[in-house]
C-alpha cells in the first residue's frame, strides 16, 4: 500500500470511528431521562440542606426515587432508604452519620445502592 493511500484510509477511518465511538460511550452513561450520572467527586452544594432540604440524582435511573428529609439531615443518624419508586424492583442505600454531617455543612454526597436485579446505582444527594 502506498503512503498516500494509507494516510487517506487512516484519515477516513478516524472521521467515521471517532464520532461513532463518542456516540456509543455517551449512551452508556445516560439514564434515558436526560440526567447524567452523578459526579463521583461532587463539588459543594450551593443550597442549604437544613433550610431547603435535598435533591437526589440517581445514575442509570429507571424509575427509582430517593427523598432525604430535612428531619433526617438534622437528626444526623445513619439511615437505610428504599429507592424503589416506580421501578419493578427495589434497591436500598445507607446514608451514614458522616454523610449526614457533610449534608449539614451543605456538601453533596455520593453513595452506591445495593446490588439488586444484577446492578447498582450511583446516587448523589445535594442540598436544595
Domain range list for the chain: 1-30, 49-127
- pLDDT greater than 80 at residue 85: yes
Predicted local distance difference test score (pLDDT) of residue 17 = 59
- Summarize the confidence of residues 57-85 as an average pLDDT: 97
The span from the CA of 63 to the CA of 48, in Å, is 26
pTM, two decimal places: 0.65
The span from the CA of 100 to the CA of 77, in Å, is 7
- Nearest in space to 111 (alpha carbons), one of 74, 80, 72: 80
Specify whether the CB–CB gap between 56 and 67 falls below 8 A: yes
At residue 75's C-alpha, the angle toward residues 70 and 76, to 5°, is 100
Chain mean pLDDT for the chain = 82
Amino acid at each position: 500500500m502506498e503512503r498516500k493511500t494509507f494516510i487517506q484510509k487512516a484519515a477516513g477511518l478516524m472521521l467515521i470511528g471517532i464520532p461513532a465511538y463518542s456516540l456509543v460511550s455517551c449512551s452508556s452513561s445516560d439514564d434515558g431521562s436526560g440526567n447524567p450520572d452523578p459526579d463521583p467527586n461532587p463539588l459543594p452544594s450551593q443550597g442549604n440542606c437544613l433550610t431547603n432540604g435535598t435533591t437526589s440524582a440517581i445514575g442509570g435511573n429507571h424509575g427509582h426515587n430517593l427523598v432525604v428529609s430535612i428531619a433526617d439531615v438534622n437528626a444526623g443518624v445513619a439511615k437505610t432508604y428504599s429507592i424503589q419508586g416506580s421501578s419493578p424492583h427495589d434497591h436500598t442505600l445507607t446514608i451514614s452519620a458522616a454523610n449526614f454531617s457533610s449534608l449539614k455543612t451543605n456538601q453533596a454526597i455520593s453513595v452506591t445502592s445495593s446490588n439488586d436485579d444484577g446492578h447498582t446505582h450511583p446516587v448523589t444527594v445535594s442540598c436544595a
